[in-house]
Structure 1
Amino acid sequence: MSDPQLVWIVDGIRSPFGRFGGGLREVSVVDLARQTLQAVVQRTAWPVQDVSELNAGMAMIEGGLMVPARQYAMAAGFPETLPSLTVDRACCSGMTTVGLGWRAIQSGARSTIALGIESMSQTPRLLHETRWGSKRGDLTVEDLLMLRNPLAGGGSIARSAGEEAVNRGVGREEQDAWALQSHERYFKALADGYFDDEITPVSTPGGDLRLDEQPRSDSSLEKLARLEPVYGGPTVTAGNAPGLNDGAVALILSGSAALADNGATPLAKVHSHLQIAGTPTSSVYLPGLAIARILQNAGLTPRDLDVIEINEAFAATAVVSIKTLADGDAGLEEQLAARTNMNGGAVAIGHATGASGARLVLTAARQLKRIGGRWAVAAICGGFGQTDAILIEAAQ
């Protein structure tokens, strides 16, 4: 652990993920960040004076919050001298903050905090054409939560995801089956106490929110099959896609010197970070390509992975990415599917866009330690055909 190039995940914590308009609706994104940042520092007893930078990922910056990361740092009571950066890579944002911390520590930073956060419930509509007035004609109000792809003719991301999935041999039944599995795995993990030390309560005007609000315990293949596809697409429904959610995740990353100086036992080691991009509608399979490449760079194969986390931007994303990673090997595909999102994914937990990438890293690291494995990977698509991947190694 004395190698100055090593980057360690000290620990992390997340808020419950709230439903759109649910328990976190009245909590400002700044207050959500404050509570989550203070919780991770309290849990780890990590000295904030030893943190070199705070990187915050958030996808809906257009909502009007100026310099969010700086506001989060001040709200949490961090030193005024702490540099901060806000990142917008859409859904990739939270994972990118982990990658930025990895790079910073390899360049000499002692420790960093990676924050992923989103309040989709508080994302406003945008009223265009009003700055200089309009004497005649209609005004345009844009709802950012329609999640359109301006690089693909302004069409629905959900529709293009379904079309790409079908083109790669993954139909509606497979996507519904994965969605049901996501809920089933989540509730098993919940019953086993897996989330007990991952989630920190959030204080709201209506009381403390302690549990994720999105998971549905009564989900079934029959109910999923009755749902109509959204936005005229072929397969994606409200049942095999996550909701619009609120939530925050914070992780502390450290170099070896700070780890030793603070007497901390790390959760895991960040081996590497990778970003790739493809066509504007490639997101449904891009995580599979990113995982393959980060493994190749490390001299590993998919069979070496003990834990895989792929964001369920849609159930199709996980299924198609696994198929892509297996590259035609049916036996390997089955093995990889069993190791992917073992405690449920975003279809069950929810997808707070800026936060999900950080959640995947936290979940992958915790699950790796839980099962005593060696290698884990987390990958997430976003930003109109971009993907981040993080390769994680056990701390031992």
Structure 2
Amino acid sequence: MREVYIVEGVRTPIAKSGKRSWFANIRADDLAALVINEVLERAGITGKKREQVDDVILGGTYLMKEMGSNIGRYAAIMAGMPYRTAGCTVDRLCGGGLQSIAFGVSSIAMGWSDLIIAGGVQHMTHLPMLSGVDPNPGLGRFCDPNMVRMGYTAEMVARKFNISREKQDQMAVESHAKAHKATVEGLFRDEILPVTADVPTEDGSAKKMLVDRDQGIRPGATMESLSQLKPVFMEDEIATVTAGNSSQTNDAAAVVLIAGKEKIKELGLKPRLKLAGYAVIGVDPALMGIGPAFAIPRVLKQAAMTKEQIDLWEINEAFASQAVYCTEELGIRNHPLLNPRGSGIALGHPLGCTGARIVTTIMHEMPYYNAKYAVESMCIGHGQGAAAIWEWVG
């Protein structure tokens, strides 16, 4: 098989979904088109060279309205790509962005393509959680039917594995603190494409704003402030999962440019990351969040590596309960480079975009922290986990 590398990556800022989302007045396909054009510009693939892009693969979920009818193809067209550049859409829920990149790497490795843009997009203001979802009424014959509610599964993980409210809130405080520090120090600047948007105001009008940072980071989050929040998914006396120790819902897009060794040489590109391993696995849907605890050992075995060889860990914080469990189970909860710039709780979790957002962040983190190997992992709705090992080659 051919050698394949990530040569560039970029993301939009991450807006917090809702009526006051900074991206409330921008469509998902337009967000995706912006990062498609930017990743090519950064790589120096302009003019006629754009015709060499074979495919655009985008992860996403709730694929209806502006996210529907193959947003991967629509976004490519909206980016002004040549008609010969194909496009498709991948739905592995929270793992869609990473799965799209894995598909792109695989296609080039097999010799079916040479140059691919892959990533993900999600607009949860326009398509909120569970948009268009119609669970099968017979679901209860096969699993806990409440598994369609992600907050419920987070509570189930907290209860089964005795993850305390204190541990969950502590992870949330750490996430916001790290994300705020990284923002203040300008550590996200190189990975973010600033976007000019018509941002909603309190009086119902809109104002022009250059969005160049993530919207949901709360630098004032403390154990005391989070302790005041009531559980939102279950309300009995042992409920622990709150809005404060859960990821946000968000609007964002992120893509990377993937190229084979021969195409890199031809176009004068610079290889940065190599996918050293990728694995997915299923788990009990009612305990959805435990996926990384099983996917990571699987991908390490696949790559014939141990966790001691991993310098940097990016484990998405869908909920603090599951992220605490997984990182403790793996023995990395206190690793100095565990989500060093925050994760889903502070930055947000725009579902189909998240996996690509994390790859983009990793690409900029690894040289900064002098990391050779990084692991990216996330739990996935309906009981799955995904994990990838990235090798820095830049």
Q: Provide the TM-score with structure 2 as the length reference.
A: 0.89
SS in structure 1 opposite 2:285? coil
**Structure 1 position 87, deviation (Å):** 0.7
Note the aligned Cα RMSD (angstroms).
2.2
Which string of whole-angstrom CA distances, capped at 9 and with x for unpartnered residues, describes residues 87-145 of structure 1?
111111111111101111111121211121011111179xxxxxxxxxxxxxxxx7559
Hey, what does 2:125 align to over in structure 1? 121
Which residue of the other structure, out of 11, 14, 17, is the alignment partner of 1:17? Answer: 14
Which residue of the other structure, out of 139, 153, 159, is the alignment partner of 1:166? Answer: 159
CA contact (8 A) 1:201 1:209 kept: yes
2:3 counterpart of 1:6: yes
**Structure 1 position 312, deviation (Å):** 0.8
Hey, what does 2:224 align to over in structure 1? 222
- What aligned pairs does 1:21-32 form with structure 2 within 5 A after superposition? 21=18, 22-32=21-31
CA contact (8 A) 1:312 1:346 kept: yes
Structure 2 CA distance for aligned equivalents of residues 375 and 308 of structure 1: 9
Q: Which consecutive residues of structure 2, in runs of 5 or more, have no partner in the other structure?
A: 199-206
Q: What amino acid maps onto 1:19 in structure 2?
A: K
**Structure 1 position 255, deviation (Å):** 1.0
Structure 1 CA distance for aligned equivalents of residues 274 and 115 of structure 2: 13
**Structure 1 position 324, deviation (Å):** 2.2
Identity %: 30
Structure 1 CA distance for aligned equivalents of residues 311 and 72 of structure 2: 34
- What aligned pairs does 1:152-301 form with structure 2 within 5 A after superposition? 152-154=144-146, 156-205=149-198, 206-207=207-208, 208-232=210-234, 234-301=239-306
- What aligned pairs does 1:1-150 form with structure 2 within 5 A after superposition? 5-21=2-18, 22-46=21-45, 47-63=49-65, 65-108=68-111, 109-123=113-127, 143=131
SS in structure 2 opposite 1:334? coil
Q: Which runs of 4+ in 1 moved over 4 A?
A: 142-151
Identify which range, 359-368 or 215-224, moves more after superposition: 359-368
Structure 2 CA distance for aligned equivalents of residues 380 and 93 of structure 1: 11
Q: What amino acid maps onto 2:145 in structure 1?
A: G
Which string of whole-angstrom CA distances, capped at 9 and with x for unpartnered residues, describes residues 314-372 of structure 1?
1222211112223xxxxx5433xx32111110100111111111111222232112212
**Structure 1 position 220, deviation (Å):** 0.5
Q: Which consecutive residues of structure 1, in runs of 5 or more, have no partner in the other structure?
A: 126-141, 327-331
**Structure 1 position 181, deviation (Å):** 0.2
Structure 2 CA distance for aligned equivalents of residues 147 and 51 of structure 1: 38
Structure 2 CA distance for aligned equivalents of residues 218 and 124 of structure 1: 27
Q: What amino acid maps onto 1:221 in structure 2?
A: M
**Structure 1 position 270, deviation (Å):** 1.4
**Structure 1 position 49, deviation (Å):** 2.0
CA contact (8 A) 1:365 1:376 kept: no
Identify which range, 272-281 or 173-182, moves more after superposition: 272-281
SS in structure 1 opposite 2:93? coil
Structure 2 CA distance for aligned equivalents of residues 7 and 372 of structure 1: 22
Q: What amino acid maps onto 1:58 in structure 2?
A: G
Q: What amino acid maps onto 1:196 in structure 2?
A: R
Hey, what does 2:201 align to over in structure 1? none
